[in-house]
Structure 1
Amino acid sequence: MAGRDRVTHLLKQLQLASCRCPAHSHGYSQAPEHVATRTTDYAFEMACSNIRYGEGVTNEVGMDLQNMKARNVCVMTDKNLAKLPPVKAVLDSLVKNGVNFKVFDKVRVEPTDGSFKEAITFARQEQFDAFVAVGGGSVMDTCKVANLYACSPDAEFLDYVNAPIGKGKPVVVSLCPLIAVPTTAGTGSETTGVAIFDYEAMKVKTGIASRALKPLLGIVDPSHTLHMPERVAAYSGFDVLCHALESYTALPYNLRSPCPSNPINRPAYQGSNPISDVWSKHALNIVAKYLKRAVRHPDDIEARFNMHLASVFAGIGFGNAGVHLCHGMSYPIAGMVKNFTAKDYNVDHPLVPHGLSVVLTSPAVFTFTGSVCPERHLEAAEILGTDVRTVKREDAGLVLADTLRKFLFELKVEDGLTAVGYSKEDIPDLVKGTLPQERVTKLSPRPQTEEDLSALFESSMKLY
């Protein structure tokens, strides 16, 4: 009997000493945490589409859709591109591989909420199980949004639009696969979950930003860039330049507020971070080497092909770090356009192309932000060809601004906002259109007041 009692006692002792971790026990209980509430974020998250690069790789898109077992595919493009080889290559590949598809070619260059809604209506009327976007940023952004709302049949348009203009709801529905085939070297939209449009009621640009929107695959076929006219190559190239500069100089991710209570609320644009920095700087190096050649010599295959890669690299950088004041100020510049229509853009409406609207304020913006992170501004100026060995830190912004002015002048960019139809009388409305762009303006390394914005617009009226 004593032996049995002894055994029982030992078993109880072993039980008390047993592992209590959740993998080996059902008795786990979490100890109460005593963590101070954070006001700024502590983490960043990298998200990017799969990218396939190579000359002629567009011919594989039909096989990709066949591999996905897609039965009804929506192909989106615009009326100009519908007549050009990139779209023909996509459609030929779909036909060759027996993929059923319908074409929507009514994408508007620089989309509006109205043009987005037209594409959404088209997508909702069909039971598409995959999407293909063939074109520049306008086409890719329109296709992302059509996919989103087709998969959210009960959603109202402003539900997903960025706050404070829209409700900014997180995307929790599953989207159909989207393959993006970029035909310009600029937006990087094939890598991001961002879609931008003109909100006509307010005459400003805004957008929808969610990692859920990013394409499943970006098919980057550099042969498509050979079809870009000279001004399209220039303005899209300046978009790459500003993507790289703004993401590299953006507010660091761990200084951005608020800290999300749930990771689903962490924004796509998170602030500069060590991984985005690598992509942004690499894009900047390529721009410095190849942009001028790509604009001046359309048959320079090496330059055009490398600028297409730079667009991807900058897209990965800014798609996770974000952009700031150049883009925030560009939205009313593009949205309030009066009579200006850019050369080489075959459109039937006034148009300040996105890359042009962004770069016109860049000298003023980087003069303004230079004092906050002078080392990064000097490094960017050096990459773009300026000798900064004797430059003082306090002059970093001015030096980068002068470097940019030289770039713009050599590539014949319009001489400031006056050249695209604006005057000092328009500044209050331009400021008013910038204020709602908090998604990007709050990523500026230097906070700005309305008076600061007014001064930046005034400084951008003339460049040279």
Structure 2
Amino acid sequence: MDHVHNEPEPRVFSSAMGGQQLERRRVERKMRIHRQPKTLITGIGAVDQLGEEAKKLNGTKVLVITDEGVSSCGMCAEVERPLRESGLDVAFYDKTVPEPPMGTIGEIVEIVEKGGYDLIVGFGGGSPIDVAKAAAVLPNTGHTVYDWVGVDKVPRKGLPIIAIPTTAGTGSECTAIAIFANEKLNVKQGLVSPFLMPNVALVDPALTISCPPNVTAASGMDALIHNIEAYISVNATMHTDSLAYEGIKLISQSIRTAVYDGTNMWARDNMAMGSMMGGIAFGNAGVGAVHALSYPIGGMFHVPHGVANTMVLPWAMEFNMLACLRWFKQFGEAMG
């Protein structure tokens, strides 16, 4: 769903240069394009709408892409049931790994091509959802992930995508971005294209209950940082600001409870909503120094993305402090 937004009032930014704080105003009126999934369904029981949404996308043969952690704990039944109740054929691929290497994507693309699947479901954390995005656009093109690294390299629309997160962190269910590890260069690289945007995102906080404390903490910090960096971005808009501010508020109130009491549905719901808001916010406003510095850490040393971001966050905030002091003050207010 694309919304064109013409910013009516200039947003005031400042930057530190030579020890002096300078004001920079965006006085020109800029056209903004806001992108997010066409359909967002949130709340407990959202996953039950999967079959109906798949049929709306004319799906008949569905491939669910997930990981062994999700499949081993029996969670795949949560998506298989509504799909089969809707009369759809369902198959599962559960070999995705964290920070998925680009060289492994060819296997799933071949499965999609040979299986004749017409709808892809990404079910899990950010990695399965990102793999699902690649699996939707690459089949029958003769290209690999390596060919389309960068912005707007994907030439056409692929298969429909439904994204269902089981962690509150990456916000990938609401972005037109897919991040992979380029094992040839020991770096993390991404594909950015509106053709990667999921058609439907089903954000059901009940699916995050089984997420272990360490993953809840790391992914939760990732979500918080998405909101923070979107809020201070020079590409921020009033729309992304409103989402990012509320995301900071929800996550700050809830992350400790979610880590130490994973069955607390109030905390899980707040985290899921905060993560989704962060995904939409940074998917349109972009991120900043934290992500720029954490990607090499993840690419070279295979540190989980949320952990790498958290390692860098204090130093990036200190560096940006003079330029972003007014927004840091607002963070404090949001955090209570």
TM-score (norm 2): 0.87
Contact 2:105 2:145 (C-alpha < 8 Å) held by counterparts? no
Contact 2:102 2:146 (C-alpha < 8 Å) held by counterparts? no
Q: Superposed, which structure 2 residues align to 1:43-442 within 5 Å?
A: 43-49=31-37, 50-150=39-139, 153-162=141-150, 168-250=151-233, 252=234, 271-337=235-301, 351-385=302-336
**TM-aligned CA deviation for residue 156 of structure 1:** 4.0
**TM-aligned CA deviation for residue 100 of structure 1:** 1.1
**TM-aligned CA deviation for residue 366 of structure 1:** 0.8
**TM-aligned CA deviation for residue 179 of structure 1:** 0.6
Q: Which whole-Å CA distance do the structure 2 matches of 1:312 and 1:68 have between them?
A: 22
**Other structure's SS at 1:44 match:** strand
Deviation string for 1:279-330 (max 9, x for gaps)? 0011001112111111111121111111011111111111100111111111
Q: Which whole-Å CA distance do the structure 2 matches of 1:59 and 1:84 have between them?
A: 19
Q: Superposed, which structure 2 residues align to 1:4-23 within 5 Å?
A: none
Q: Which has the higher contact order (CA 8 A, sep 6+)?
A: 2
**Other structure's SS at 2:158 match:** coil
Contact 2:124 2:167 (C-alpha < 8 Å) held by counterparts? yes
Q: Which whole-Å CA distance do the structure 1 matches of 2:36 and 2:201 have between them?
A: 10
Q: Which whole-Å CA distance do the structure 2 matches of 1:238 and 1:57 have between them?
A: 24
**Other structure's SS at 1:86 match:** coil
Deviation string for 1:334-390 (max 9, x for gaps)? 1111xxxxxxxxxxxxx52211111111110011112223211221133234xxxxx
Q: Which whole-Å CA distance do the structure 2 matches of 1:45 and 1:200 have between them?
A: 33
Deviation string for 1:40-90 (max 9, x for gaps)? 993221000121012122122122223333222111111121123431111
**Other structure's SS at 1:80 match:** helix
Contact 2:99 2:180 (C-alpha < 8 Å) held by counterparts? yes
Q: How many pairs were matched up?
A: 308
Contact 1:197 1:206 (C-alpha < 8 Å) held by counterparts? yes
Q: Which whole-Å CA distance do the structure 1 matches of 2:57 and 2:291 have between them?
A: 36
**Other structure's SS at 1:371 match:** coil
Contact 2:98 2:127 (C-alpha < 8 Å) held by counterparts? yes
Q: Quote the sequence identity (%).
A: 31
**Other structure's SS at 1:59 match:** helix
Matched letter for residue 44 of structure 1: R
Q: Which whole-Å CA distance do the structure 1 matches of 2:222 and 2:168 have between them?
A: 9
Q: Which whole-Å CA distance do the structure 2 matches of 1:153 and 1:191 have between them?
A: 25
Q: Which whole-Å CA distance do the structure 1 matches of 2:308 and 2:238 have between them?
A: 28
Contact 2:152 2:192 (C-alpha < 8 Å) held by counterparts? no
Matched letter for residue 51 of structure 1: L
Contact 1:198 1:205 (C-alpha < 8 Å) held by counterparts? yes
Equivalent residue for 1:348?
A: none
Deviation string for 1:437-458 (max 9, x for gaps)? xxxxxxxxxxxxxxxxxxxxxx
Contact 2:138 2:158 (C-alpha < 8 Å) held by counterparts? no
Matched letter for residue 169 of structure 2: G
RMSD of the alignment, in Å?
1.7
Q: Which whole-Å CA distance do the structure 2 matches of 1:286 and 1:141 have between them?
A: 25
**Other structure's SS at 1:287 match:** helix
Contact 2:153 2:191 (C-alpha < 8 Å) held by counterparts? no
**Other structure's SS at 1:45 match:** strand
**Other structure's SS at 1:207 match:** strand
Gapped regions of structure 2 (runs ≥ 5): 1-27
TM-score (norm 1): 0.64
Equivalent residue for 1:418?
A: none
Matched letter for residue 175 of structure 2: T
* Higher radius of gyration, 1 or 2: 1
**Other structure's SS at 1:134 match:** strand
Change (3 A) 1:378 1:51: same
Q: Which whole-Å CA distance do the structure 2 matches of 1:118 and 1:358 have between them?
A: 29
Q: Which whole-Å CA distance do the structure 1 matches of 2:236 and 2:71 have between them?
A: 38
Equivalent residue for 2:13?
A: none
Q: Which whole-Å CA distance do the structure 1 matches of 2:72 and 2:53 have between them?
A: 23
Contact 1:124 1:153 (C-alpha < 8 Å) held by counterparts? no
Contact 1:124 1:149 (C-alpha < 8 Å) held by counterparts? no
Matched letter for residue 352 of structure 1: V
**TM-aligned CA deviation for residue 113 of structure 1:** 0.7
**TM-aligned CA deviation for residue 170 of structure 1:** 3.4
Q: Which whole-Å CA distance do the structure 2 matches of 1:213 and 1:292 have between them?
A: 32
Q: Which whole-Å CA distance do the structure 2 matches of 1:331 and 1:187 have between them?
A: 14
